[in-house]
Chains A and B, each alone.
Chain A
Amino acid sequence: MQNQTRYQPKPLFLERMKNLLGRDFDDYINILKKEPVRSLRCNTIKISPDELKERLENKGWKIKIPFGDFPEIIIVENELQPGELGRALEHMLGYYYIQEIASMLPPLILNPKPDEKILDLCASPGSKTTQTAARMKNSGLIIANEVKFGRIKILASNLERCGVMNAIITKRDGIALCRRFKEQNFLFDKILLDAPCSGEGTIRSTPRTLEMWNIKTIENLSKLQKSLIASAIEILKPNGELVYSTCTHAPEENEEIIDFALKNFNIKVEKINLPIKTRQGITEFGEKEYSEDVKYSCRVYPQLADTEGFFIAKIRKVK
């Protein structure tokens, strides 16, 4: 058991999760004790899933492709040495990206097309940017923005390793960047807003999140996320789509943000289909009530499909 030995969850966190999960709470706690699944994404810019599967099997790895519609999603079922996934030649050559399955879902919902203009507002380390570029077959245009200097390098390095040719990297505060785009009337077909969050969904791989967790951070992040989504909606083309995601369960960072967008902009929340079991968005938490359409968003809980936790919603700007 690698998790929760050094870091104990705070009582308020447990209480909130109990309220969210009800009778699933014990399953949730149990899955946190289980080693995360070793998943990776075939980088189809460089190699086909079949070729990669064959190469990895020749290394002695036991490979599973869990979703027929998405053969790029790969699970390595056998035990590996620590760090072996990251040290393999195939990784160094950009044939795959080590990525948690839940983190692969937002670009699937964004469904980028080769001729589109797409903004990835909080792009580093680049897992979703590289996935988006692969789905666009390296055409169209991606603007990959990251505000933190230290994270730009890793973003650039991952885009290079994966052979991404259709991207421009910018380093601006997301809200300021959107303002400049709006002033220039530079609008996007689609926007991915994988917002900075409290990371409650990553406890399996990063148990230290439990130590850093506090409600004040969630409240502050919620304000930032509202500003980010408001800024992003302004630069969507009419009928354009925005996928909002976080790797946290806190409703203040999830449904509350979508509710805020619904109440302040001419948008609609669209139903989404994911290849794994999920729960719909909630419409009340504590004393707060959210718009009914918030239920079209998806909660990805670790105990449902043996993944990390995530939240995903798709909104469309009404013409």
Chain B
Amino acid sequence: MIPLKFLSKNEKEKLTAQLEKQFGIKEIPWEIAKLGKERIIVFSGEISEKEIFEFDRFARIEGIGLYFAKIDERTGDIRLSIEGAHLLKSQITKNIFELDEKQAEQWMLGQELNISTGKRGFLIMKYKDDFLGTGKASENKISNFVPKGRRLKYRENKIEE
């Protein structure tokens, strides 16, 4: 059975409050569910929760909705996926780190950035109009969470070293 749990109204409010605290996000206009221990998905499909579980019994669900965020079990902080950041980009007002072209390329290559931001915790990575997911800032670097399958595989020639 799929380890899926849709968030109650209270749970959704709590999650939204945390997103507002971290990134200024005030509203998530879709159904939200927890998939397994950490992964948060958003789902816009027109089917009830009850139907989903009935459906799972006879059709074996392998995946549902869109991976949106992960909750850090230790701190309770939320790390938005690339898609999560893209979906809510119009609402994100806080903890944005603007990348320059070279940093954006390093980021999409999956490399950590050796930068001191003066902040600690999760930052939304932004390059021009593109939202490139979330990094974790510590004293002298930003850790990279771009999944392997989404990374650029080479350096573009036009980027200056």
Contacts and interface: CB of A to CB of B under 8 A. Distances in A.
A131 to B, nearest CB: 16
B63 A168 contact: yes
Contact of B60 (A142, A164, A171): A171
Given A93-B82, A139-B46, A87 B154 contact: yes
B130 A89 contact: yes
A139 B30 CA distance: 11
B34 to A, nearest CB: 16
Interface stretch (A5-13, A152-160, A288-296): A152-160
A165 interface: yes
Given A156-B63, A177-B59, A180-B58, A165 B44 contact: yes
Contacts of A115: 46
Interface in A47-101: 83, 87, 89, 92-94
Contacts of A177: 59
A163 B83 contact: yes
Interface residues of B, number: 34
Given A163-B66, A165-B66, A141 B83 contact: no
Contacts of B58: 180-181, 183-184
Interface in B42-100: 42-47, 52, 54-55, 58-67, 82-83, 86-87
A268 interface: no
B149 interface: yes
Contacts of A139: 44, 46
Contacts of B9: none
Contacts of B130: 89, 93
A51 to B, nearest CB: 9
B108 interface: yes
Binding site of A, secondary structure by majority: helix, strand, loop or mixed?
Answer: mixed
B44 to A, nearest CB: 4
B54 A165 contact: no
A96 to B, nearest CB: 14
B115 interface: no
A165 B46 contact: no
Contact of B62 (A138, A141, A170): A170
A89 B108 contact: yes
A160 B104 CA distance: 21
Interface of B: 30, 42-47, 52, 54-55, 58-67, 82-83, 86-87, 104, 108, 130, 132, 149-154
Interface of A: 46, 83, 87, 89, 92-94, 115, 117, 138-143, 152, 156-157, 159-161, 163-172, 177, 180-181, 183-184, 186
8 contacts: A89-B152, A92-B108, A93-B130, A94-B83, A168-B45, A169-B61, A169-B62, A184-B54
Given A163-B86, A166-B46, 4 more contacts: A89-B108, A115-B46, A169-B62, A170-B60
